[in-house]
Structure formats: structure tokens, C-alpha cells
Structure 1
Amino acid sequence: MEHSNAKSKIGFIGWFKQKWDSEPLFSTAIALLIMIVLQTLVLGFDYDSFGEWFQAWLNNWINILRNNAATGIIALGMTLVIMTGGIDLAVGSTLVAIGAMLMMLIDAGTKGILAGFGLTGAPAFIVAIIIVLIFGYLLGAANGLLVTLGRTPPFIATLGTMMVFRSVTQHFMQGYNPTVPVDFLQLASFQIGNFMIMPIIYWAIIAIILHYVSKRTTFGRQIIAVGSNEKAAKLSGVNVNKVKFHVYALMGLLVAFASTIQVSRIGAMDFANAGRGLEMDAIAAAVVGGTSMMGGRGSIVGTVFGMLIIAVMNNLLNLFGVPPFLRDAFKGFIVIAAVLLQRKERI
């Protein structure tokens, strides 16, 4: 009742502006709704029946979500990193390094590591995934140690590891083309009701878990505290370095999940070019979703919305035939607009 009275006093426009200025999730949801409407209009309605139109609409959305699931998972981790006041520019190179490790482990050819020990099929896949998850955690932990114990600015630390991880991977993988077993592709291509939605399910599960962690756990509250005011967090008894370390290590773990999904979805990886620009996509999704680059504010749900906005925009640009080299320009404009339009008070 009080909400209705307040809304009637200030009017709809005033209420809308107030919500837009004070709630990042509200403005992101409105932007996503606009993108969905545009996407629907561009697809058109020239179909013989509503069922045929809906099927085309649904297939388009499944393709969008499936193709962006791996990036979406990385964007979730990037949100937590940015919330601490940090940044991780190495996610693309980390993805490539982990992908290379995974493909060497499960290689169906004569050089396959696990096959050399007589381990193939599902047992090999399980062992390989466990190994790469640990490997991803360690790579993320390396960034965390540089930022905490090394007291290196996150930008510099992850810029350095970005070059190291990709360079070392390319060196060891030159001339080697692992063959991904067909059965491994089922991790991403297994059909549920004629739809290949497994990457979407993985993304949704991880988003739900991280939403709970960020909103309902002590660790989540500590992330916000560290990003909001590091000195105040220390005085409150928060182990700032420990929080930062775990966030970067978690980032590496999430990249490992994303890399596994990517390999199982595509069945290959271009070690020279895969993951390039991935850090910018993840940062863009987080910022568009309302995460403050100054730290201390962010939302997992907002990042999911932000990732969907970026994904739909990319799809629209493709449908409009915009040259590939210009698409990043549009993405840059959206990020700048998000920062300019969402000048809200930090929580």
C-alpha cells in the first residue's frame, strides 16, 4: 500500500527514474527486455502458424544461450573478481591452457596421455575433468598469489599471466593436433527433448550456486566488504588477502568449467586465437549487469542479464550483416553507455 501511494505521488515517470537510478538490476532488466523485443521483431512473423513461429523463436534463443554459456560462466567469476576491486585479463589465455591440457589427456590418438595408461571412455573423461578443474584452480591461484602476496596490481598481474599462459601453451602445442573422442562431445551435445541444452543447464546451475554464495554466505559478504572499503574490512576482522586469493582461484576453476564445455561443444580449439577478447566480453557482461568497476557492488543475476544483452546484440548485428570488425565497436558503446547511464550510489 505504501509503495502504491509513493508511486502515485511521484508519478510513473518519477518512479521509473528513481528505480533506474537506484537499482542496477532494474535498469539491466529493462535493457534486456528491449533487446528481446528487438530480437523478436527482427526475426519477423512470416510463418504459416504460431507453432512454427514459436519453434523458430525458441531455436534461435537456444542457439544464443548455448553459444554464450561458456562466456557466461566466466562472466560470473569476473563479477566476483571485479566486486573485490580487481580484474582478471588472463581468462582467455587460461581457457586455452586448460583446453590444451584437457585435449592432451583425452586425445583419442596415439599421444593421448590417459589412453597411454589404458584409461579410455567415461572413466578417462571423469579423471581428465577432475585434473583440469584442479589445473584451472591452480592457474587462478597463481593470479591470486601475485595480487596478494606479490602485491602486484591485478591489471599488471593478470596482463602478465595472460601472455605467459598463451605463449607457453602455443609452444607446447605447436604441431600437435589432439583428437577429441566423439563420446566426449556428448557433454555438450546430449539432447533433452530434441534440444541440445546441456551448456545452458551447466551455466544455470553455476549461476544459482554463485548467486547463493554472493547473497547468503559470509564469503559473499566479505567480497562486498573488501570491494567497498578494504581498510574498513581489515578493521572488521576480514582477511582481505584470503578473500582475494579465493576469488581469483575460483575464477580459474570457473574458466576450467567453461573450457571443458567449449571443448565438448566444438570438439577442437585454436590455441593461437581461442579466447582472445574473452576477458572483454566477461567484463562487458558484468558492467552492463550493474557491477561497479570500483568494486563493492555487483549481482550474479545482473551479470546473467548483462551477458544476455551482449549475446542478443551480437546476434542482431549478425542478422543485420554488420561487418565482424565493427561488432566490437558496438559492444564498446554499450559498455560505455552502461557506465554513463548507471551512475548509482555504491552500496
Structure 2
Amino acid sequence: MQIEHVKNNQSVFGWLRTKWVQDPLFSTGIAFLIMVISQTLVLGFDYDSFGSWFDSWVNNWINLLRNNAGVGIIALGMTLVIMTGGIDLSVGSTLVATGAVGMLLLDTSAKGILGLLGLSGVPAFIVTILLVILLGYLLGLLIGVTITKGNVPPFIATLGAMMIFRSVTQHFMQGHNPTVPMEFLKISSFNIGGYMIMPIVYWAIIIYILYYMSKRTVFGRQIIAVGSNERSARLSGVNVEKVKVRVYALMGVLVSIAAILQVSRIGSMDFANAGRGIEMDAIAAAVVGGTSMSGGRGFIMGTVFGMLIIAVMNNLLNLFGVPPFLREAFKGFIVICAVLLQRKEKLS
């Protein structure tokens, strides 16, 4: 009986080890659960009643999710880009460029573009959103064409775009301080049940759309094929260049949506610093969620868990009073560990 008990324990631990190494969603989910428990314990239970504790717990999570919804949306696009074997370092600068255009269109001063055209209110908001998304699409398309037609490595193409987009935006926004109509802020601040959860709702909708696309559409399967083996995908009839261009264009659209959320949530944008480092957060979320840096494998839900792990980690480090500069070190450590686990899986 004792020998059988030992064998059962070994089989359970063996199964857990196999699942942890070979199933990124399992390991990421367990890590996220540990982070949730840790945050709950750190917040404490010193409240008058369970109801007040629960309200505080819920508010904490809503604030955390709302503050990270924009980065979470960008991380989803980064997942698809990495799955093709590429990278996009320009997302922070694209965020600034599209956000700046949106603010210029909506500006309530005499310099407001749509105001000069006689547009205001909801029609102006709709036109602004559509034009900002179109701009994001065109910037992503430009990067995709540069990579495919110009045969420029994604790292170099997006690094160049990162410097160009931000510097051009800063140049043209010198002396401009656009003000956004208060009504536009309702896009992110509209209350549902007493909670401002609209950014979370938008994030959830995009998660569902991209999850469905990655699992149920031809385009989703083509992304995996291109990242797994580009030559085999080409021989199978996949238009590799078209797939890559579409992925980077989609990345641009997602970044522009994040820009709209940021402008509508804060009402302003620091064109010199906004979005700096956001590409690292997006890459970290994708890698922690099980996306392979060599391409061919990625998980939309894994990236969601990865984003939440990083968000909770940042929150915990803030609660513990860890200096801001050291928080990046923790994030880097997690990313390295995630890549080491991926390597271990390939060797096993």
C-alpha cells in the first residue's frame, strides 16, 4: 500500500511537472492564481464587514484592469506579431501619433480641425474615432510593407518607425495644447452599476474577437503557419507577405484603439513621454503568456493572463514600496524565466 501511495504521488507530481512545462496556459494560469492570492493577502482583511472588504477588493481589481486595458489591447496585437516571427517596437510612438491626431481633431479651441468644419458632439466623436483608427491602420500598413517589400528586418523597421513617429509628432505638436470635450471622456468614464468599467469592456470584446480569429479563421491558421515555418507556408500556398502586412496593420488598429482609450480616460497626452516602455510591457505579457519569441506559437488567453500577472506584480511592488526603477528589474526577471521555461520545453 505504501509503495502504491508513493507511485501515485510520483504520478501526480509527474503530471503536474509535464503540464507546467508543456502547457503554457496551465503554468500561466497557476502563476496568475498565485498572484491573485498574494494580492488579496497583502490588501488584508481589516474591515468592519465582509461587504466592505469585498467592495474594496472589487474596486482594487477594477482600477487595476481599467488602468491596464490599453496596454492589454496592445499586448494582444503584439502576440500576433510575435507569432509571425516578428516584433514591433513602434507601438508607443504609434500611440502618441494617433493620440495627437485625435486630440487635434477634437480640440475645443479655435484651432480644432473638426470645429472649424462645423462638426461637434457625437458626429465629431465618430469621425475622430474612425480617422484615428484609419491612421493607425495606415501606419501599421507602412511598417508591414517596409518589412515585406523592403526586406527590412522587423526589429530595424519598427525601431526606425519608433523614432520617426514620435519625433514628427513632437515637432508638429510644439506650442499646441489641445483640450478634449468633456463629453468625449464618457467613452471611458461611463458608469455601469456604479463602476467605470468601459475600458475593461472594450478590452474584453477585443479579446473575444482575436481569440475567435486565432482559433476559428483561416487568417489565424496562416499566422501560425508563417511563424512556424515560412518556407513551408509559402509552398502550401500561403501569401506570407500579405499575412505579415495584415498583422502589422491590425497591430496599428489596436494601438489606435488604445490611444482613443487613453485620451478619453485622461483627457490629455504627454507627447514626449506617453507610451514609452509600453512595447516592453506588451512583449513581456505575450512572452509570459506562452508566446514563443521564435514564432509559430501564441495564446490570446495566455497573453491576457500574462498582462494580469505583470499588472498585479506592479501593484504589489507599489504596495511594498519598491522603488520604481527596481520594478523593471522584476519584470525583466519574469520575462527571462518565461523564455527559459520555453527553452526547457523544447529540450524535453
- Is residue 20 from structure 1 mapped to residue 20 from structure 2 by the alignment? yes
Aligned to 2:113: 113
Could you tell me how far apart the structure 2 residues matched to 1:326 and 1:36 are? 21
For 1:273, what is the secondary structure of its paired residue?
coil
Aligned to 2:3: none
Could you tell me how far apart the structure 2 residues matched to 1:317 and 1:174 are? 36
Could you tell me how far apart the structure 1 residues matched to 2:120 and 2:169 are? 24
Instruction: Using structure 1 for the length normalisation, give the TM-score.
Output: 0.97
Q: Deviation digits for residues 144-188 of structure 1, max 9, x if unmatched?
A: 011100110000000000000000000000110000110000000
Could you tell me how far apart the structure 1 residues matched to 2:249 and 2:9 are? 49
- Is residue 73 from structure 1 mapped to residue 73 from structure 2 by the alignment? yes
Aligned to 1:237: 237
Listed as ranges, the matches of 1:93-132 within 5 Å are: 93-132=93-132
Instruction: Read off the aligned partner of 1:288 and give its amino acid letter.
Output: V
Aligned to 1:56: 56
Aligned to 1:261: 261
Aligned to 1:181: 181
Could you tell me how far apart the structure 2 residues matched to 1:215 and 1:239 are? 19
For 1:259, what is the secondary structure of its paired residue?
helix
Structure 1: runs of 5+ lacking an equivalent? 1-6
Aligned to 2:152: 152
Contact 2:28 / 2:306 at 8 angstroms: preserved in 1?
Answer: yes
State, as a whole percentage, how many aligned pairs show the same letter: 73
Q: Which moved more, 1:336-345 or 1:142-151?
A: 336-345
Could you tell me how far apart the structure 2 residues matched to 1:58 and 1:119 are? 39
Instruction: Read off the aligned partner of 1:289 and give its amino acid letter.
Output: G
Q: Deviation digits for residues 84-140 of structure 1, max 9, x if unmatched?
A: 000000000000000000000011111100000110011100000000100000000
For 2:248, what is the secondary structure of its paired residue?
helix
Structure 1 outlier segments of 4+, above 6 Å: none
Q: CA deviation at 1:10?
A: 5.3
Q: CA deviation at 1:284?
A: 0.2
Aligned to 2:225: 225
Could you tell me how far apart the structure 1 residues matched to 2:30 and 2:303 are? 14
Contact 2:97 / 2:166 at 8 angstroms: preserved in 1?
Answer: yes
Q: CA deviation at 1:337?
A: 1.1
Listed as ranges, the matches of 1:283-302 within 5 Å are: 283-302=283-302
Could you tell me how far apart the structure 2 residues matched to 1:90 and 1:199 are? 22
Instruction: Read off the aligned partner of 1:318 and give its amino acid letter.
Output: N
Q: CA deviation at 1:9?
A: 8.6
Q: CA deviation at 1:345?
A: 3.8
Instruction: Read off the aligned partner of 1:204 and give its amino acid letter.
Output: A
Q: CA deviation at 1:338?
A: 1.1
Q: CA deviation at 1:22?
A: 1.2
Q: CA deviation at 1:27?
A: 0.5
For 2:325, what is the secondary structure of its paired residue?
helix
Aligned to 2:135: 135
Instruction: Using structure 2 for the length normalisation, give the TM-score.
Output: 0.96
Instruction: Read off the aligned partner of 1:194 and give its amino acid letter.
Output: G
Could you tell me how far apart the structure 1 residues matched to 2:29 and 2:318 are? 23
Could you tell me how far apart the structure 2 residues matched to 1:210 and 1:289 are? 15
Q: Deviation digits for residues 165-220 of structure 1, max 9, x if unmatched?
A: 00000000011000011000000000000000000000000010000000100000
Instruction: Read off the aligned partner of 2:156 and give its amino acid letter.
Output: I
Contact 2:100 / 2:169 at 8 angstroms: preserved in 1?
Answer: yes
For 1:342, what is the secondary structure of its paired residue?
helix
Could you tell me how far apart the structure 2 residues matched to 1:82 and 1:157 are? 14
Could you tell me how far apart the structure 1 residues matched to 2:51 and 2:207 are? 31
Q: Deviation digits for residues 272-330 of structure 1, max 9, x if unmatched?
A: 00000000000000000000000000000000000000000010011111111111111
Instruction: Read off the aligned partner of 2:248 and give its amino acid letter.
Output: Y
Q: Deviation digits for residues 211-234 of structure 1, max 9, x if unmatched?
A: 000010000000000000000000
Q: Deviation digits for residues 218-274 of structure 1, max 9, x if unmatched?
A: 000000000000000001000000000000000000001000001000110000000
Q: What is the Cα-based RMSD across aligned positions, in Å?
A: 1.2
Q: CA deviation at 1:341?
A: 2.4
Q: Deviation digits for residues 38-57 of structure 1, max 9, x if unmatched?
A: 00000001011111111000
Q: CA deviation at 1:342?
A: 3.3
Could you tell me how far apart the structure 2 residues matched to 1:193 and 1:40 are? 23
Contact 2:129 / 2:260 at 8 angstroms: preserved in 1?
Answer: yes
Q: CA deviation at 1:21?
A: 1.3
Q: CA deviation at 1:77?
A: 0.2
Q: CA deviation at 1:8?
A: 5.1
Could you tell me how far apart the structure 2 residues matched to 1:10 and 1:320 are? 37
Contact 2:292 / 2:342 at 8 angstroms: preserved in 1?
Answer: no
